[in-house]
C-alpha cells in the first residue's frame, strides 16, 4: 500500500528528495514484506491442504472399507430374509391355492345345481308359453279367417256392383258410339255424293277442254297442211 502523505516536520527535515526517497524505500519494504507474507501463507496453506487431503483420503478409505463390510453384512441378512420370505410365501401360496380350489369346487357344484334348477324352470315356463301362444295363435287365426270371409263377401258384393255399373256404362258408351258411327256414315254418304257431283262437273270440264285442245290442234294442223300444199 503506497504512502500518500508525509508529516510536515519530517518533510522539512529531509527535504523533498529525501521524502520521495523515504517513500520509495518504505513502499519497497512494504512490497517485500507482503511478498514474504504471501509466500509464507501460501506454503502453510499448501501444507495444510496436503495434510487435510491425506486425512480425508485415509478417512474415505476407512469409510469405504466399513461401508463394504456393512453392505456385505446387510446383503447377507437380506438374502437370508428373502429366502425366509420366499419360503413363507410359497407355503402361503400353496395354502391359498388349496383353499381356492376347494372354494371353486364348491362354487362350481352350487352353480351346476342352480343351472339345473334354472333350466328346469325355464323348460316348464317355455312349455307354458308355447301352449299359451298356440291357443292365442288358434284364436287369432280364427278371427282372421272370419275377417277374411267378411272382407271376401264385401269385396264380392262390391265387385258385382262395380261390374253392373261397368256393364251399364259400356252399354251407354256402345249406344253413343253407334250414334256417332251412324252420323259419320251419313256424313260420309253426303260427302261421297258431293264428291260425285264435283267429279261429274270436273269430267265435263275436262271433256270440254280436251275438245277445245284437239280442235285447236286440228285447226293448226289444217293450217299447216293448207300452207304446205298451197
pLDDT in tens, 180-198: 888 887 888 888 778 777 7
Does position 1 have pLDDT exceeding 50, yes or no? Answer: no
Can you tell me the distance from the alpha carbon of 114 to that of 108, in angstroms, rounded to the nearest whole number?
10
121 to each of 6, 124, 126, how far by Cα in Å? 128, 5, 8
- CB 27, CB 6: distance < 8 Å: no
pLDDT digits (tens, 9 = 90+) for 196-225: 777 777 777 788 788 788 877 777 887 777
The four Cα atoms 60, 65, 70, 74 give a dihedral, to 10 degrees, of: 110
Can you tell me the distance from the alpha carbon of 214 to that of 220, in angstroms, rounded to the nearest whole number?
10
Q: Tell me what percent of the chain is helix, strand and coil, each rounded to the nearest 5.
A: 95, 0, 5
Can you tell me the distance from the alpha carbon of 6 to that of 221, in angstroms, rounded to the nearest whole number?
184
% of residues, the chain, pLDDT over 70: 92
pLDDT for res 5: 64
Sign (positive/negative) of CA torsion 103, 109, 114, 118?
A: positive
Can you tell me the distance from the alpha carbon of 230 to that of 220, in angstroms, rounded to the nearest whole number?
15
Can you tell me the distance from the alpha carbon of 46 to that of 48, in angstroms, rounded to the nearest whole number?
5
For the chain, the average pLDDT equals 82
Across 19-30, b (16+ Cβ under 10 Å) vs e yields beeeeeeeeeee
Lowest-confidence region among 9-18, 76-85, 111-120, 174-183: 9-18
At 4 the three-state DSSP class reads coil
Does position 3 have pLDDT exceeding 50, yes or no? Answer: no
With cut-offs at 50, 70 and 90, classify the pLDDT of residue 6: low
Separation of first and last alpha carbons in the chain: 183
Amino acid at each position: 500500500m503506497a504512502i500518500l502523505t508525509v508529516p510536515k516536520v519530517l518533510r522539512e527535515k529531509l527535504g523533498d528528495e529525501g521524502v520521495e526517497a523515504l517513500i520509495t524505500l518504505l513502499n519497497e519494504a512494504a512490497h517485500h514484506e507482503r511478498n514474504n507474507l504471501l509466500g509464507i501463507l501460501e506454503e502453510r496453506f499448501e501444507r495444510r491442504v496436503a495434510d487435510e487431503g491425506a486425512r480425508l483420503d485415509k478417512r474415505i478409505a476407512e469409510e469405504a472399507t466399513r461401508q463394504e463390510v456393512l453392505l456385505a453384512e446387510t446383503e447377507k441378512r437380506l438374502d437370508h430374509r428373502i429366502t425366509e420370505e420366499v419360503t413363507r410365501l410359497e407355503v402361503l401360496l400353496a395354502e391359498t391355492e388349496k383353499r381356492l380350489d376347494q372354494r371353486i369346487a364348491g362354487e362350481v357344484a352350487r352353480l351346476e345345481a342352480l343351472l339345473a334348477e334354472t333350466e328346469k324352470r325355464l323348460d316348464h315356463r317355455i312349455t307354458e308359453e308355447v301352449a299359451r301362444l298356440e291357443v292365442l295363435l288358434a284364436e287369432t287365426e280364427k278371427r282372421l279367417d272370419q275377417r277374411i270371409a267378411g272382407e271376401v263377401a264385401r269385396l264380392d258384393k262390391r265387385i258385382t256392383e262395380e261390374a253392373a255399373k261397368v256393364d251399364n256404362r259400356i252399354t251407354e258408351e256402345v249406344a253413343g258410339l253407334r250414334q256417332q258411327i251412324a252420323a259419320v256414315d251419313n256424313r260420309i254418304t253426303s260427302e261421297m255424293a258431293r264428291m260425285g257431283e264435283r267429279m261429274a262437273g270436273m269430267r265435263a270440264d275436262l271433256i270440254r277442254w280436251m275438245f277445245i285442245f284437239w280442235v285447236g290442234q286440228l285447226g293448226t294442223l289444217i293450217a299447216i297442211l293448207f300452207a304446205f300444199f298451197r
